DNA sequence: GTTTATGCAAATTCTTTGCAATACT
DNA sequence: AGTATTGCAAAGAATTTGCATAAAC
């Protein structure tokens, strides 16, 4: 059983060609992807609408998580730390202004923040922008 | 001279009805706004396209800054700390999952992060999600 | 066989561009 | 008067929804 199948059966989702293709594409690309990225790559495999629905389903089941961005495009990633059972989004994202790729820096701990009173926080996201190791 | 006029003349931008209306709307709403938010409110004042162009201009001149979001919509804000001459985006944004509003927490300092080698950072953004004081 | 996922069509929303008309200084 | 801004029209992306077909269990 491949990695994609394991992920799907873990989450009790039906194993379909489209879903495997989406997971495989994320596994092959370590940076965050948009729906149009997937659509371009998988146009021979499945429909545009199917990709939207797969993304929705994967978000609900904790296979994908949203990645913050400043340019108004919604990005998604399948992080190392999210491939096993505990799903935690609390990590740092780095967007390279040269290659445009956003990657998850799982190894960097999220710093603690002192919030104003009466604010409760459920999710932390940090987005750094600059030049990545490859482009510098 | 009103607040909007001061901001525009500080940046050596022409003072027009549309631009004043956009600034006034940001001044009246302390949370981050999308272009559609502005479009809905200002449809009697100016055209949809004008709003896009004003946003672009204001971003370039440091009147507005982009606010990171996880739902694929581009948000903008006019922060307290950006109304004077030094424009700094390095602050924490908080999105309330109840009312959906994103606000700038200017008073909270951005924590320092130890990055991997060969990464250089130009911009820091932090997005917290949870429940704000008003909604809790 | 039953349930769930997919494909197709179509509608909606968001964003960008070109050019003529208008408003600002 | 001269220049920058705006409005309108139109095109191009991105996203959502409904329903019939097809695939998975």
Q: Which of A31-40, B58-67, B71-80 has the lowest mean pLDDT?
A: B71-80
Which residues are CB-contacts of B106 (< 8 A; sequence separation ≥ 6)?
B79, B80, B81, B91
At residue A44's C-alpha, the angle toward residues A39 and A50, to 5°, is 50
- The reply to whether A29 falls in a domain is yes
How would residue B86 be classed by pLDDT, with cut points 50, 70 and 90? very low
Give the pLDDT score at B40. 93
User: By residue range, what is the domain housing residue A31?
Assistant: 3-130
E strands along chain B, which residues? 33-34, 65-67, 75-77, 92-96, 102-105, 120-131
CATH number, residue A52: 1.10.10.10
CA distance B74 to chain A (A): 4
Determine, for residues A119 and B133 on separate chains, whether the beta-carbon distance falls below 8 Å. Answer: yes
- The reply to whether B136 falls in a domain is no
Buried b / exposed e along B104-127 (16+ C-beta atoms within 10 A): bbeebebeebebeeebeeebbbbb
Give the pLDDT score at B114. 82
E strands along chain A, which residues? 33-34, 65-67, 75-77, 92-96, 102-105, 120-131
**Is the CB of B16 less than 7 A from some atom of nucleic acid strand D?**
yes
Q: What φ, ψ does residue A84 adopt, rounded to 5°?
A: -95, -165
Nucleotides of chain D in contact with protein CB (under 7 A) are 4-10, 13-18, 23-25
CB A81 within 8 A of CB A106: yes
How many residue pairs bridge chain A and chain B with CB atoms within 8 Å of each other? Answer: 125
Q: Give the span between the Cα atoms of A112 and A99, in whole angstroms.
A: 30
- The reply to whether A103 falls in a domain is yes
Q: What φ, ψ does residue A20 adopt, rounded to 5°?
A: -60, -40
- The reply to whether A27 falls in a domain is yes
Q: What Å value separates CA B108 and C1' C24?
A: 40
CB of A45 less than 8 A from some CB of B: no
- The reply to whether B108 falls in a domain is yes
From the list B111, B115, B123, the residue facing A113 with the nearest CB is B111
- The reply to whether B48 falls in a domain is yes
Q: What φ, ψ does residue A129 adopt, rounded to 5°?
A: -125, 140
Query: What is the tally of structural domains in chain A?
Result: 1
Q: What Å value separates CA B14 and C1' D2?
A: 14
Q: What Å value separates CA A65 and C1' C20?
A: 47
What pLDDT, in 10s, does the model give residues B106-131? 888 888 888 888 999 988 899 999 99
- The reply to whether B106 falls in a domain is yes
- The reply to whether A26 falls in a domain is yes
Q: What φ, ψ does residue A56 adopt, rounded to 5°?
A: -55, -50
- Residue A76 predicted with pLDDT over 60: yes
Q: Which nucleotide is nearest to B48 (CA to C1')?
A: D7
CB of A84 less than 8 A from some CB of B: no
Buried b / exposed e along A85-100 (16+ C-beta atoms within 10 A): eeeebebbbbbbeeee
């Amino acid at each position: 059983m491949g990695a994609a199948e394991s992920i799907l059966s873990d989450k009790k989702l039906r194993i379909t060609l489209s879903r495997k293709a989406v997971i495989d594409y994320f596994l092959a690309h370590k940076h965050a992807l948009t729906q149009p990225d997937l659509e371009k790559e998988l146009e021979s495999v499945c429909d545009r609408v199917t990709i939207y629905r797969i993304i929705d389903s994967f978000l609900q089941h904790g296979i994908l998580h949203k990645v913050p961005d400043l340019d108004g495009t919604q990005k998604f990633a399948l992080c190392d730390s999210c491939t096993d059972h505990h799903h935690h989004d609390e990590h740092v994202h780095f967007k390279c202004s040269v290659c445009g790729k956003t990657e998850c820096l799982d190894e960097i701990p999220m710093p603690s923040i002192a919030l104003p009173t009466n604010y409760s926080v459920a999710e932390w996201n940090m987005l750094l922008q600059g030049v990545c190791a490859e482009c510098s």
